[in-house]
Chains A and B, each alone.
Chain A
Amino acid sequence: MIIPTMFLLLTSVFFLMHIIPGDPVRLAYGDEMPEEFIQDIRHRMGLDRPIHEQYIEYMKRFIRGDLGISFTYKIPVRYKMLERYPTTLELTLGGIILAVFLGVPLGILAALKKGGAIDHIIRIMSLYLYSNPSFWLALLFQLYLGVVLGIFPISGRFNLIGRVPHVTGIILFDSLLAQDFQVFWGNFRYMFMPWLTIGIVRVPMLSRISRASMLNVFGEDYMTTARAKGLREWLVVYRHGLRNAILPIITSIGGSFTWLLGGTVIIEKIFSLPGMGSLLMDGLMGRDFAMIQGIVGIYAIIVVLTNTFIDVCYAAADPRVKF
């Protein structure tokens, strides 16, 4: 699956990029530059060659791991990505962890109390939350938690100024590794609202999947057997219920992760986080072909890796799954 997916995505994005109106070189250097200079740059970047030659050249380079040079930043796309990806990873992981810890228990609770008041409340709440546009939620958090109450910084990323050694780039982990709790807390305050936004937007999905999946399992004979054995209810739910219901939940978590590759574009813009989403947005605005293609290519790899990782999780969670 990985080869055709990558090939299709890269090819379609390559050709789409070349029909975008607007000359990227002109956009990068501004209107004042003389035409000869622009032509020279175009020539040196190979942009004046026939499109099929450019395409073959691009594909060859991509296979070698060379993503090209960004028009706007004038440095290799790879460097820019290495600088930006930890922010997005930190944002995504935190948001998903929050969503899982809120969504899955709520779903299980709803399944346990099926048809009762709690089930209805959870269902209505998740439908309501599901209908909230993420950007609106983010702005409301900024307004109430940031401006009115002033508990959390409104936007931006916590500035380390080299206080904690760079290990993973994810400040949350790096600060823990260095045991610098001041940095940990400072970073937490900056990331809290973005995490909350992502978390809340994803909770409905996870709680619904968990509920449906648990309900499926509750009808099984082994649940009755477990109860008949006299096991305590939480053990029945955890060991016999959740362990069997976990597969769709894992799929849904993986789905959240790939969904977030798109979702972070808006979240990063609102909270001024220097991540991959804002890099993509800048690339799109500046007609930065190399950057857009590079990001789409990397995202395709991430999508495929996530799906593979989910398959591995399947095998770990369910001994019946064999490769």
Chain B
Amino acid sequence: MKLNKIKLGESNLVKLFKVAPKSAQAMVIIGSFLVSILLFFIIFGPIIAPYDPFEMVEISWEPPSNKHIMGTDALGRDLFSRLIIGTRYSLGVSLIAVGFSLLVGTILGSLSGFFGGPLDKILMLIMDALWAFPGFIFVLIMAVVLGPGILQTAFAISIGRIPGNFRMIRSLTLSIKERGFIEAEKVMGANSLHIIRYHIAPYYLSILFVTISLGMARGTLAVSGLGFLGLGVPPPTPEWGTELAYGRVFLLAGGWWMVMFPGFFVLLSMLGFNLLSEGADTILNPTVRRLK
């Protein structure tokens, strides 16, 4: 065991990270690295992007060259600039979707888990029915019902994620309600704030972190999937999936860059968030830790 590496006065997170298996440490580090690249693109996008992503700067379908490192798209716009700026839209939509589904899931799930009774039964029935059904079909239908747009796409995607979040939060609430150690704390005279700070919050937060990270990976996939089908963020907004759909038309004529690079950006963000959530899960979640 690597317990001897722990120094006094370190925070719990650092301690957990140090005793975690090497593979989990590597995952968290690489994942954070990839995610911070994306964050960098989001914050400094307009500074990095060499051209205006909405302006026609070259003839259409220019292959990658020194001037345009990822080539140009169907309308002669610089692909690299579009993808860099597109990070804001693709990940932003995904973040709104994750946040909204988590909010709804948390409210309904904790109500259901806390009160139980008929409310719980009805909510469980609805959520189980939705859970069993392939989520992407709902997302598709909602995307058509709501129409194209950034918020509309985010909302459509969040609908597909609500049942999963509901179930997770509900079982969390139930398990916290029934846990012996909380009962023990109460008996010993601890006040609610103490219990929440030291026993419930760490438990919730670690699961929340993993859920958000995993949700971002799935959300980004859904955003670009909808964009690919022409149901997502509408043009001329630079979104990765929409760019891919443009590129597909030109693929058979050899326009590989229009498919390769947007897909690579999706891959990059999914890999980053997946690594982060997987590594964090191993480090933070005691039941997962045992299996590794």
Query: Which residues of A are at the interface with B, using a C-beta cutoff of 8 A?
Result: 1, 4-5, 8-9, 13, 16-17, 19-21, 120, 123, 127-128, 130-133, 135-136, 139-140, 142-143, 147, 154, 212, 215-216, 258-263, 265-266, 269-270, 280-281, 284-285, 292, 296, 299-300, 303-304, 307
Interface centre among A19, A130, A136, A296 (most CB of B within 10 A): A136
Does A19 lie within 8 Å of B129, measured CB to CB? no
Chain B residues positioned under 8 Å from A263 (CB to CB): 134, 136
CB closest chain-B residue, reference A292: B141
Asked if residues B229 and A142 are in contact (CB atoms below 8 Å), the reply is no
Contact A262 to B129, CB < 8 A, known contacts A19-B145, A135-B228: no
Contact string against A for B residues 267-292, beta-carbon threshold 8 Å, 1 for contact and 0 otherwise? 10011001100100000000000010
Would you mind naming 9 contact pairs between A and B with Cβ atoms under 8 Å apart? A131-B274, A133-B263, A136-B259, A212-B291, A258-B134, A296-B137, A296-B141, A299-B133, A304-B132
* Residues of the B chain whose Cβ atoms lie less than 8 Å from the Cβ of A8: 125-126, 129-130
B259→A9 contact, CB < 8 A: no
Known: A120-B23, A127-B271. 17 other contacts (CB 8 A): A4-B125, A4-B129, A8-B129, A9-B129, A16-B145, A123-B23, A131-B274, A132-B267, A133-B267, A136-B259, A139-B263, A140-B263, A143-B256, A258-B132, A284-B231, A296-B137, A303-B133
Bound form: Cα–Cα A112–B99 in Å: 39
- The interface-forming segment of B101-109, B164-172, B183-191, B244-252 is B244-252
Q: Which residues of A contact B134 (CB under 8 A)?
A: 258-263, 299, 303
User: Which A residues are CB-close (under 8 A) to B52?
Assistant: none
Could you list which residues of chain B lie within 8 angstroms of chain A, going by C-beta atoms? Answer: 23, 27, 125-126, 128-130, 132-137, 140-142, 144-145, 147, 217, 221, 224-225, 228-229, 231, 244, 247-248, 251-252, 254, 256, 259-260, 263, 266-267, 270-271, 274-275, 278, 291
Contacts of A4 in B (CB 8 A): 125, 129
From A131, A261, A280, A299, B270 is in contact (CB under 8 Å) with A131
Min CB–CB distance B147 → chain A (angstroms): 7
Q: Which residues of B contact A143 (CB under 8 A)?
A: 251, 256, 259
With contacts A16-B142, A127-B274, A284-B144 known, is A139 near B259, CB below 8 A? yes
The 9 closest A-B CB pairs, nearest first, are: A262-B136, A136-B263, A262-B134, A131-B270, A131-B271, A5-B129, A8-B129, A261-B134, A284-B144
Contact of A281 among B133, B229, B256 (CB under 8 A): B229
User: Please, how many angstroms separate the alpha-carbon atoms of A216 and B290 in the complex?
Assistant: 10
Complex: how many Å from CA A5 to CA B124? 11
Q: Which of A131, A270, A281, A296 has the most CB of B within 10 A?
A: A131
Known: A281-B229, A300-B133. A130 touches B140 (CB 8 A): no
Kindly report which residue of chain A lies nearest to residue B266, judged by CB atoms.
A133
Q: Which B-chain residue is minimally distant from A4 (CB atoms)?
A: B125
Residues of A near B141 (CB, < 8 A) are 13, 16, 284, 292, 296
In the bound assembly, the distance between CA atoms of A128 and B274 in angstroms comes to: 9
- List residues of chain B with CB within 8 A of the CB of A136: 244, 259, 263, 266-267
What's the A-B contact tally at a CB cutoff of 8 Å? 122
Q: Is the interface of A mostly helix, strand, loop or mixed?
A: helix
B217 and A131 contacting across the interface, CB-CB below 8 Å: yes
Q: Which residues of chain B have C-beta atoms less than 8 A from A154's C-beta?
A: 252
Contacts of B132 in A (CB 8 A): 1, 5, 258, 303-304, 307
CB distance from A155 to the nearest CB of B (A): 9
Partner of A265, one of B133, B136, B144: B136
A244 to chain B, nearest CB (A): 16
Which chain A positions have C-beta within 8 A of B260? 140
- Report the nearest A residue to B256, measured CB to CB: A143
- Shortest A136–chain B CB gap in Å is 3
Contact check: which of B137, B145, B244, B254 meets A139 at CB < 8 Å? Answer: B244
Enumerate chain A residues within 8 angstroms of B225, measured Cβ to Cβ: 133, 135, 266
Minimum CB–CB distance for A61 against chain B, Å:
20
A133 and B137 within 8 A (CB): no
Determine how close the nearest CB of chain A comes to the CB of B132; give it in whole angstroms. Answer: 5
Once the chains are docked, how many angstroms separate the CA of A149 from the CA of B110? 55
Specify the chain B residue showing the minimal Cβ separation from A127. Answer: B274
Complex Cα distance A86/B138, Å? 23
Expressed in whole angstroms, the minimum distance between the Cβ of B218 and any Cβ of chain A is 11
Query: How far does the alpha carbon of A212 sit from the alpha carbon of B290 in the complex, in Å?
Result: 11
Q: A residues within 8 A CB of B259?
A: 136, 139-140, 143
Distance between A115 CB and nearest chain B CB, rounded to angstroms: 8
List of A residues within 8 angstroms of B128 by Cβ: 1, 5
Residues of B within 8 A of A216 (CB): 291
Per a CB cutoff under 8 Å, which of A20, A133, A135, A262 touches B144?
A: A20
Q: Please give the distance in Å from A95's CB to the nearest CB on chain B.
A: 14
